[in-house]
Structure 1
Amino acid sequence: MSKIIRTVTLFIILIAILTGCGGLSKADEQDYYEKAIPIGQEYFKKYYDVDVEFNRFEVHLPMSSTIVLYGHVKDDPYTSLSLSFSLPSLRVDSAGGPAEFIDSRKSEEEVNSQ
């Protein structure tokens, strides 16, 4: 009985490895990246009053269901930023960058009062 369980477990692990553990195709990753860019630009404009340029991304599957965009403030390549989104909803999870920049985020009240 234990030999059957071991064989089934190994078979499942092998299938998971061969299928990429539920990863996305390169085309799907690129599609999410292109959809996330305007959302990210709008987020930084809304909460930080800055324009950003994104230049790369990472999809973190299957470890977590996220895509992270990396870039910088437009006309300031030294202020590096990142923005993490949940997949597949593309809901913003968190922003990263220099502490003083991230700390300058507008509150929901400030954003909604404008």
Structure 2
Amino acid sequence: MSSKLKVLLTILVILVLSVSGCTIAYQIENNIIIKKATPIGIEYFKSEYDVTVEFTDSQVFDGYVYPKVNLYGYVNNDINEKVSISINYNTYEVENVGGPKWLFQLE
């Protein structure tokens, strides 16, 4: 094997390992954000609307776009009653809530 080919393969291996390492670190960071935000979202729905929710999906935005995590789920074991909540992951404050109309009606 020529020395040029060895150098090229070495650079390629280093590049692939670097990219995969960054991807793993990104996923770990996102999982930490989701694990911190989930109990905040559950407690928010419980304290503000007196409902139990379960989150089944999430979306973490990059900090340079907007430091926000969206959690998606449903109310009281009814998958047809969908809810969502946006939480700023720098402050862990609730910024936006979505759900069925009956949830937001004043009594």
Is TM > 0.5 for Structure 1 vs Structure 2?
yes
Structure 2 CA distance for partners of 1:103 and 1:63, relative to 1, 3 Å: farther
Counterpart residue type for residue 73 of structure 2: G
Unmatched segments (≥5 aa) in structure 1: 1-17, 19-23, 107-114
Cα drift, residue 74 of structure 1? 2.4
Aligned to 2:52: 51
Cα drift, residue 89 of structure 1? 1.6
- Secondary structure of 1:94's aligned partner: strand
- TM-score, structure 1 length as denominator? 0.65
Mapped to 2, the partners of 1:37 and 1:78 lie a distance apart of 20
Mapped to 2, the partners of 1:47 and 1:88 lie a distance apart of 22
Cα drift, residue 99 of structure 1? 2.6
Q: Deviations over 1:1-42 (max 9, x none)?
A: xxxxxxxxxxxxxxxxx9xxxxx7110111110111111111
Residue pair 2:37, 2:89 contacting (<8 A) in 1 also: no
**How many residues end up aligned between the 2 structures?**
83
Q: Deviations over 1:51-85 (max 9, x none)?
A: 00001100122322110000001221111000001
User: Which deviates more, 60-69 or 50-59?
Assistant: 60-69
Give RMSD over aligned pairs. Answer: 2.0
Q: Which has the larger radius of gyration?
A: 2
Cα drift, residue 87 of structure 1? 2.0
Counterpart residue type for residue 85 of structure 1: I
Aligned to 1:37: 38
Unmatched segments (≥5 aa) in structure 2: 1-18, 20-24
Runs of 4+ in 1 over 4 A off after TM superposition: none
